[in-house]
Structure 1
């Protein structure tokens, strides 16, 4: 189905190979249960770089954008567990977009996802939005595809959190986010090369500097999947 709510938290970062096993254990067995216990967090998914690199993509589907400044969420961001505190400094090159859902059609948690981080060129926002809406309407029914989802970042009014300070440098953000999910990795790669290279994005109305990535699904969950899965704290 389409994105579960009206907002989403989309994040990208790198995890070094020497801590990846610990990270994946923590993320599945402490972090997902912790986040999905917060009211308004509806579904979580983690994706790994399809080329075997260090990158990952994480998507939280939210009831609405107000969840991102809710007291329950802020309490977790400012009181990380010891396991979280140990791993947060290893979240390298963090890009964190706190988004409204602009358009969403088709499935989300398919085998693969192709993401585009982009922004409209000056004076071309309406043109880019219209071009991407056409993609949302047409791509999900193409062979190999499952769904297309367009998000727009808006920073909620809140101070820097303890988790942000643990990561060190300020997080980056993508202005707009396009997510294309599908069951056929080759078809997604071909779509990327055909319709989302720098030249094609510029013709749609995107500013220079877009970033693209192809990912494979590692794990997805809703709250009932992880209730009582593990006690906070993790291994020493």
Structure 2
């Protein structure tokens, strides 16, 4: 089974230890459901880091990335519930990425997820997608414990749309960051697979000048419709 759409919202967050219980209860009991029930949204899942930072990652699948920049969606950011306002005010880190999915080779839903974040040369987009879809990802998903993969590019126009929202910190991005998501049944397997292939030496041919950022996560909770 592939992803539920061609758009994806990723949020990386951190809170202090004293706020984690309330944060996790809010996410599991209110926030995931609120987002999944929005028009064009289909599935939301959240994870906790086993290796890497920030500690928490949420992944939302939607019809298209354009949905994340529509007035109807942005209005929800300006009308948060009291619980949402209280929890969001305690974020110590918040990064929001709105991804246009370029490659979808996912297969079901796994207990583990590895993320690889990097910034390539936009002029090498076509060659990068070809390498990922025809060589890199099939090789990785054939490894034991790795079941599927997807790749998305942060859409700068869409991600900048909610900058007026005062409840969160939205630092402005100047470069189109890409994210590879490797999903599987084993945390160690997906993390090792990601680090084995996505080295700076391999990515240099696609204009990547800075070493990629890795994260390895275990599944916490999800919902879909």
Q: Is the Cα–Cα contact under 8 Å of residues 52 and 215 in structure 2 kept in the other structure? A: no
2:149 corresponds to: 148
Q: Aligned residue for 1:207?
A: 209
- Which deviates more, 15-24 or 63-72? 63-72
Superposition map of 1:69-218 within 5 A: 69-107=69-107, 109-121=109-121, 123-133=123-133, 134-154=135-155, 155-156=157-158, 158-162=161-165, 165-168=166-169, 170=171, 175-203=177-205, 205-218=207-220
* Whole-Å separation in 2 of the counterparts to 1:35 and 1:120: 30
Q: Shift in Å at residue 34 of structure 1?
A: 1.1
Q: Deviations over 1:50-100 (max 9, x none)?
A: 149761111100011231123432221111111111111233332211111
Taking the aligned partners of 2:172 and 2:48, their CA distance within structure 1 comes to 20
Kindly indicate whether the alpha-carbon contact (under 8 Å) linking 1:152 and 1:176 is maintained by their aligned counterparts in 2: yes
2:15–2:93 CA contact under 8 A, matched in 1: no
Residue ranges of structure 2 left out of the alignment (5+ in a row): none
Map 1:22-41; keep pairs closer than 5 Å. 22-41=22-41
The CA RMSD over aligned residues, in Å, is 2.3
- Residue 64 of structure 1 pairs with residue 64 of structure 2: yes
Cα distance in 2 for residues equivalent to 1:39 and 1:58: 18
Relative to the length of structure 2, the TM-score reads 0.87
Contact residue 103 and residue 129 of structure 2 kept, 8 A: no
Greater mean alpha carbon deviation, residues 188-197 or residues 118-127: 118-127
Instruction: Return 5+ residue gaps in structure 1 as ranges.
Output: 224-236
In 2, Cα distance between equivalents of 1:135 and 1:111: 22
TM-score (norm. length: structure 1)? 0.83
| Change in 2 beyond 3 A, CA 1:21/1:139 | same
Question: How much has 1:214 moved relative to structure 2?
Answer: 0.5
Residue-by-residue CA offset, 1:10-48 (whole Å, 9 max, x unaligned): 121222211111011001111111111211110000010
C-alpha distance in 2 between matches for 1:45 and 1:67: 18
Residues 17/66 of structure 1: CA separation in 2 closer, same or farther (3 Å cut): same
Q: Deviations over 1:193-226 (max 9, x none)?
A: 3112333333554231421100010111113xxx
Count of matched residue pairs? 221
Cα 1:51/1:193, change in 2 over 3 Å: closer
For 2:142 and 2:223, locate their aligned partners in 1 and report how far apart those are by CA, in whole Å. Answer: 25
**1:112 CA drift (Å):** 0.7
